[in-house]
């Protein structure tokens, strides 16, 4: 990085361990996904900026929903941040140690580490369905009747009879390998996460120490773009960012001044906020302008955070770090919460107590936030940490070579989104 762009060295960059600020960014991205999906459930016209209810909003609300500020609740932007972060975090220990065992450990542990929390979220949804705790269909009927417009996003979930064997297969296999998930539709990201993770491990195994690996970065970026697998470019860019970041740690030792970093972060949000169309395109890997905007925005935001000590210190605050710890659980549980507690709250507030739609929906959103965060903490405490420990233990006892000692503490199997 040239001196004209980078600032003076103002702090010593860490040489080991996780980047805690990135965990906080992941937590904030998970929270943004929760807000996005709650808006889609109760205010779809606001989120999509179309539909029969859109014209009923005031000009101020329509201006705000169409402004670059919409990147704050853009769910696909948050997912792009997840994927770029995964590419970065999965590479971090390797670039710091150049250890092939780090890659072997990460690859061997990855599936189990992701599968157990995903399975827990599917079984949670199954339990809610079996006990009659899902109220999204009743909430849709109430909204459609009182507002005179369909709420098809919320209506698409949990409209089938629950079967335990199907839930077990979905949570342990189908959702992670094919993206087919009826009990938790947000698991569509899992096949991308699996494919991206193993691509990172394979790339680093083959080219991680090659002097000309920048050529391979470019080549695979062009390949993934050509075959319409643009989400995998996110992983590749995250890996490339990590490569440069570690080189900066050991060689250049540069940081960005706070004004430049904030400009990068704001520019990233602005680029996402001006993208064409809406953010509810089908869940696939296809290349379109939306994904390009989201990827560029994610790279700019994470670059600003990574190279700026002041931003990192802010993001390493206790409450934000907590949100980072529970980020995977928050992503996993919030759909069942929206369709159960959130929908039940809306029915009570609007159907029973006679509140207006916007007031009842706002209170339902608050219910969704509180219960989702509590549920995420339970998932983190009971399932997430257990999955990390179990995958590490199985690797050490069954796969690791006898001479390999204690596994290094690393971010290799960090929280997914």
Q: H or E element: which one contains 66?
A: helix 59-66
238, 85 contact by CB (below 8 A): yes
Q: Is the pLDDT of residue 21 over 80?
A: yes
Tokens of 34: 């929760």
CB atoms within 10 A of CB 262: 15
Does the residue 239 lie in any domain? yes
Helices marked H in 208-317: 213-226, 230-247, 258-273, 289-306, 309-315
Tokens of 333: 């549980």
Does the residue 297 lie in any domain? yes
Predicted confidence at residue 275, as pLDDT, reads: 86
Q: Is the pLDDT of residue 289 over 60?
A: no
Look up the domain containing 331 and give its range.
Answer: 20-399
85, 22 contact by CB (below 8 A): yes
Higher pLDDT, 402 or 159: 159
Residues in the chain: 417
- Rounded to whole angstroms, the Cα distance separating 3 from 216 reads 27
Does the residue 62 lie in any domain? yes
Does the residue 216 lie in any domain? yes
For the residues 231-260, what does the mean pLDDT come to? 96
- Rounded to whole angstroms, the Cα distance separating 122 from 130 reads 12
Does the residue 410 lie in any domain? no
Spatial CA neighbour of 346 closest among 37, 140, 149? 140
Per the structure, how many domains does the chain have?
1
Percentage of the chain modeled with pLDDT above 70: 89
Instruction: State how far the alpha carbon of 163 is from the alpha carbons of 24, 64, 332, in Å.
Output: 37, 43, 20
Q: What is the pLDDT of residues 91-103, one digit of tens each?
A: 999 999 999 999 9
196, 235 contact by CB (below 8 A): yes
Does the residue 406 lie in any domain? no
Res. 277 pLDDT band, cuts 50 70 90: low
Number of continuous H segments (helices) and E segments (strands) in the chain: 20, 0
DSSP 167: H
Res. 203 pLDDT band, cuts 50 70 90: very high
Tokens of 273: 């906020």
Does the residue 291 lie in any domain? yes
For the residues 1-23, what does the mean pLDDT come to? 53
pTM above 0.95, yes or no: no
Does the residue 180 lie in any domain? yes
Q: Is the pLDDT of residue 228 over 90?
A: no
């Amino acid at each position: 990085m040239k001196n004209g762009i980078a600032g003076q060295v103002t702090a010593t960059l860490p040489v080991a361990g996780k980047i805690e600020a990135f965990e906080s960014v992941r937590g904030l991205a998970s929270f943004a996904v929760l807000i996005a999906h709650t808006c889609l459930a109760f205010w779809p016209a606001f989120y999509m900026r179309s539909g029969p209810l859109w014209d009923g909003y005031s000009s101020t609300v329509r201006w705000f929903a169409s402004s670059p500020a919409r990147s704050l609740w853009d769910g696909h932007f948050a997912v792009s941040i997840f994927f770029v972060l995964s590419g970065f975090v999965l590479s971090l220990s390797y670039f710091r140690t150049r250890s092939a065992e780090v890659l072997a450990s990460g690859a061997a542990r990855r599936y189990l580490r992701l599968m157990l929390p995903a399975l827990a979220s599917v079984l949670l949804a199954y339990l809610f369905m079996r006990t009659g705790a899902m109220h999204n269909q009743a909430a849709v009927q109430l909204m459609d009747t009182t507002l005179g417009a369909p709420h098809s996003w919320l209506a698409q979930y949990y409209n089938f009879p629950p079967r335990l064997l199907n839930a077990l297969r979905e949570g342990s296999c189908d959702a992670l390998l094919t993206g087919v998930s009826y009990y938790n539709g947000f698991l569509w990201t899992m096949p991308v996460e699996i494919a991206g993770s193993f691509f990172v491990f394979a790339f680093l195994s083959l080219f991680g120490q090659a002097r000309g690996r920048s050529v391979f970065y470019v080549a695979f970026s062009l390949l993934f773009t050509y075959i319409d697998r643009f989400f995998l470019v996110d992983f590749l860019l995250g890996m490339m960012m990590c490569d440069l970041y570690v080189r900066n740690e050991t060689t250049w030792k540069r940081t960005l001044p706070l004004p430049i970093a904030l400009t990068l972060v704001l520019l990233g949000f602005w680029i996402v906020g001006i993208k064409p169309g809406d953010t509810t395109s089908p869940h696939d890997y296809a290349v379109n302008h939306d994904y390009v905007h989201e990827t560029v925005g994610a790279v700019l935001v994470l670059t600003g955070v990574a190279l700026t000590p002041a931003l990192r210190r802010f993001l390493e605050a206790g409450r934000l770090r907590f949100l980072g710890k529970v980020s995977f659980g928050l992503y996993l549980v919030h759909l069942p919460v929206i369709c159960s507690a959130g929908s039940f709250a809306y029915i009570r507030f609007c159907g029973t107590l006679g509140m207006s739609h916007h007031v009842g929906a706002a209170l339902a959103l608050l219910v969704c936030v509180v219960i989702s965060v509590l549920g995420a903490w339970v998932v983190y405490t009971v399932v997430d940490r257990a999955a990390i420990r179990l995958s590490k233990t199985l690797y050490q006892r069954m796969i690791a070579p006898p001479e390999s000692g204690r596994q290094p503490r690393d971010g290799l199997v960090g929280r997914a989104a």
